[in-house]
A and B are shown apart, each in its own frame.
Chain A
Amino acid sequence: MTVPATVAELVRQFRANGRIVIVGASLAGLRAAEALREEGFTGSLTIIGDEPYEPYDRPPLSKQVLKGWVPADHTTLPRLREVNAQWRLGVTATGLDRAAKQVRLADGEQIPYDRLLIATGTRARQWPNPDEAALDGVYTLRSRDDAAQLQKALAAPPSRVMVIGAGFIGSEVASVCRELDLPVTVVERGSAPLVGALGGVIGEIAAEMQRDHGVDLRCGLGVSSLEGDSGGHVRRAHLSDGTIIDADVVVASLGSIRNVEWLEGAGLASGFWGVGCDAGGRAFDINGVVTDSIYVAGDVARSPHVLYEYQFLAMEHWDNAVLGAEAAAHNMVNLEPHYRPHLLLPGFWSGQFGLNIKSVGVPPFGDEIVFTQGSVKERHFAAAYGRRGRIVAAVTFDHGKWLEYYGKLIEQSGPFPPPPPGWDQPPDMKPIPAEFPQPGVPTAIPDVVLTGHDPSERAAEFRPRRR
């Protein structure tokens, strides 16, 4: 047989009889499994998840579920097709042996694979003081169980809710509290809500919006400690300026931590910002060499993006999980030159305070912002972010139908400021500094991060191994 014919036969064999293991039974894991079957993979498929539930959807948790519209256990993800997999739910993957090609489970079992997909996502960063974090009434919001408990606590109702951290999730929780007519205090270490993701100019608008809706918003401050009563229930929070706030529900929304610990020792390029991979989802090993059998998708993945100077992007976005999973699945059962890149233009949506916030591109990549459509005063507007004369991102408040236009401009590296609209121009269309916090200034961790190495930081140490 010729070499190409042999290779084609191997691919066919693998698709028919290969063994694929997916670790992480959520959005990316499920969509990857479906895509694998769609691609004609008929071999054995094992999906490992540490939660006891079938894959469910997270965005409703901080919205419909908290409001009490939808029970937390009604968020199961729709199945797009039969996946015919062995589901290993409620069991944690604790290790990866790349030499033996096995995933180690908490119950001691070893699951062999030919190809592996890492889709372990992120978890909520807990309140750092473990004793305080263990108080009744202190919550984080990532899982279905978290949402169910917090919803119950909000329905009780509490006398006051304290939200620590005003990123997207913290802001959504605050919004729900106001909709439920609960008093809520939001404490944000940065200068404004959403400042990490959207910058200070938009953050200021978000701050006003929160205050207009009756949120007791305190920025530039931290919570230094939480205090409980004798029954072990949280009662008050001490702020860094000495103020004391009485609250009986505390939601810590401090950003997320990537679930990579189980990969320790596996020799993959995994760490604080996730698992490094190429644009096709193929994981890098610790030396930056691409692996052939290990793939990554979803919140835990970080890959270089051509639009953003090939910096590594980690995107904690729903779209990214779905499309990244599809691309990885395709590549898992194909070979060069049939690989497909996952070069999504990042996009995010959030519902809060009765309006719809959407962004496209990577706002923190920009340093300037210009309002391009609508009215800030009425909070219906679009704004574009730029860097060195190029548009790199856009954000809309209740103007989401225009996002497509900005997305196209960003993809084409269009000019910044972008061409002015023909109508509904804001009075002032001059670019101004977007006011992103300097790297190193603590704020809620944004959900699209440029994880590229900052040369001035000197955090990485290069020690080539000598033979």
Chain B
Amino acid sequence: MVEETPWQQALRYANRANPYPFYEELRKTPVARQPDGTYVVSTYQEIVALLHDPRVSSDVRKLPAPAPAEGPAEAEPITETVIVEPNIITQDPPEHDRDRRMMTPHFVGPPHSPHLISDLEPEIRRIVDDLLDNMQGKTRIDAVDEFAYPLPVTVICKILGVPLEDEPRFHSWIETALDALDFGPEAASEEIQSRLAGGRQAVKEFGEFAAELLDRYAQQPGPGMLSAMVNEDGPEGRMSKGVLVSNALLLIFAGHETTVNLIAHSVLTLLRHPDALEKLRRRPELIVPGVEELLRFESSVQFWHTRSALEDIDIAGTTIPKGAPIFLAYGSANRDPKRFANPDELDLERRDNQHLGFSQGIHFCFGAPLARLEVQVAVGEFLRRVENPRLVEDPPPYRHNQIFRGPRHVLVDIDGIRD
């Protein structure tokens, strides 16, 4: 059997709980060609350079047909299963810039609606409080199912105007689609191959669901961002139906998936670092830098996979040839010792913490302001109200997907819930 590259090892399910030793190995070759022709970039400086390089495309439609496989049989290009039409993540300028500009006023606001996100804070607090109230009387909780998951879902549904009753349906589509996504050596396995079809079907149904919802809003405007995007024309007009659906999927999906993992990982990480937990409890004002550090420590998006080189690009002594797919490994860059002193240490007061947890450049996370607020409130309140939390199982079971890496459950024994 061919020896696996550090990247392939990092992506193995068995290593999901701790890919970091493999990342460390990977960083020895900042730009590492994989057997399938993908170039994995794992060091901070190089990733930042590529995020700002206009010769790099994010549009999967510009990827050439995959080169004949050298290694084990290749899975079908996964991107096909998730991409309906391009959304802002899978577009290049000028379309990307225009579509993002069209979406911005309905979301993050400034300069259009600077208070949109901060005005949500009371609502977020109320949801968090309710979730914690519901744990009253319990001695064991699942910090994922009972806490990390319900918050972002409720919030994103409200912002977008997606009926919360539909949540179980799209939850299962998302789970199915995510479980079918694999970028590691296991992608070729029968199991993943058979999941692929299910994943494709889930995305299709999810897309139909979003299209119907948008249709309904077109006929009868309602609350939330989706209705606004269907009905309000900015100076640059309106998105086509297909692009609208695709962006709606992106928002529903990214709006909670990443935040779920971030909250779950934050709880997990703090329980593993009692000193940090104690410090944060004593000094709640550290929550802002603290969340940035948690985001660096366990990047919510471990890597991103839709970029490619439109020209030969010389970087770190390697030439990424024109047409090659490029994976940017944020999770590894955030532990790059050349950028972060003692990167494997959790330091809630870390200075100059320009992590890549939300990426950089024009594709910088659209939802970052919202995610930050949600995690700050959730983690802050969890620490304040949950009495004597103890991790039951370490490491906890992980979800299959590598990009949106996160624990499936985090069981915590508690003494009670404070008021």
Contacts and interface: CB of A to CB of B under 8 A. Distances in A.
Interface string A389-431: 0000000000001111100100000000001111110000000
Interface string B352-392: 00000000111010000000000000000000000000000
B54 interface: yes
Interface residues of A, number: 17
A373 B53 contact: no
Nearest to B363: A401
Given A422-B310, A423-B57, A405 B94 contact: no
Interface in B68-118: 92-94, 97
A418 B49 CA distance: 15
B94 A419 contact: no
Contacts of B361: 401-402, 404
B93 A423 contact: yes
Interface in B30-61: 48-49, 52-57, 59
A143 interface: no
18 contacts: A372-B54, A374-B93, A374-B94, A380-B94, A380-B97, A402-B54, A402-B361, A404-B48, A404-B361, A405-B49, A405-B54, A408-B49, A421-B54, A422-B55, A423-B59, A423-B93, A423-B310, A424-B54
A423 B56 CA distance: 9
Given A404-B48, A423-B310, A375 B94 contact: yes
Nearest to B53: A405
Contacts of A404: 48, 52, 361
B93 A424 contact: yes
Task: Indicate the member of B53, B57, B362, B364 with the most A CB atoms within 10 Å.
Answer: B53
A179 to B, nearest CB: 11
A424 B57 CA distance: 11
B56 to A, nearest CB: 7
A41 to B, nearest CB: 19
Given A422-B310, A423-B92, A373 B54 contact: yes
Interface string A428-447: 00000000000000000000
A53 to B, nearest CB: 27
The dominant DSSP class at the B interface is loop
Contacts, number: 54
B129 interface: no
Given A422-B54, A422-B55, 20 more contacts: A372-B54, A375-B94, A401-B360, A401-B364, A402-B54, A403-B52, A404-B48, A404-B52, A404-B361, A405-B49, A408-B52, A419-B55, A419-B311, A421-B55, A422-B57, A422-B92, A422-B310, A423-B54, A423-B59, A424-B94
Interface residues on B, range: 20 to 34
Nearest to B314: A419
Interface of B: 48-49, 52-57, 59, 62, 92-94, 97, 310-311, 360-362, 364
Contacts of A374: 93-94, 97
Nearest to B309: A422
Contacts of B56: 422
A402 B53 CA distance: 7
A401 B54 CA distance: 11
A374 to B, nearest CB: 7
Contacts of A403: 52
A407 to B, nearest CB: 9
Contacts of A423: 54, 57, 59, 92-94, 310
A401 B93 CA distance: 12
A402 B48 CA distance: 11
Contact of B52 (A372, A401, A424): A401
Nearest to B111: A354
A373 B96 CA distance: 13
A422 B58 CA distance: 11
A379 to B, nearest CB: 12
Nearest to A398: B97
Given A372-B54, A402-B54, A424 B92 contact: yes
A405 to B, nearest CB: 4
Contacts of B62: 422
A423 B92 CA distance: 7
Contacts of A420: 55, 311
Nearest to B97: A380
Contacts of B54: 372-373, 402, 405, 421-424
A232 B25 CA distance: 76
B52 A422 contact: no
Contacts of A401: 52, 360-362, 364
A401 B311 CA distance: 20
A353 to B, nearest CB: 13
Nearest to B51: A404
A275 to B, nearest CB: 30
A424 B94 CA distance: 6
Contacts of B59: 423
Contacts of B362: 401-402
Contacts of B97: 374, 380
Contacts of A421: 54-55, 310
A196 B57 CA distance: 35
Contacts of B92: 422-424
A375 B364 CA distance: 22
Given A373-B93, A374-B93, A380-B94, A402 B52 contact: yes
Nearest to A403: B52
Nearest to A80: B351
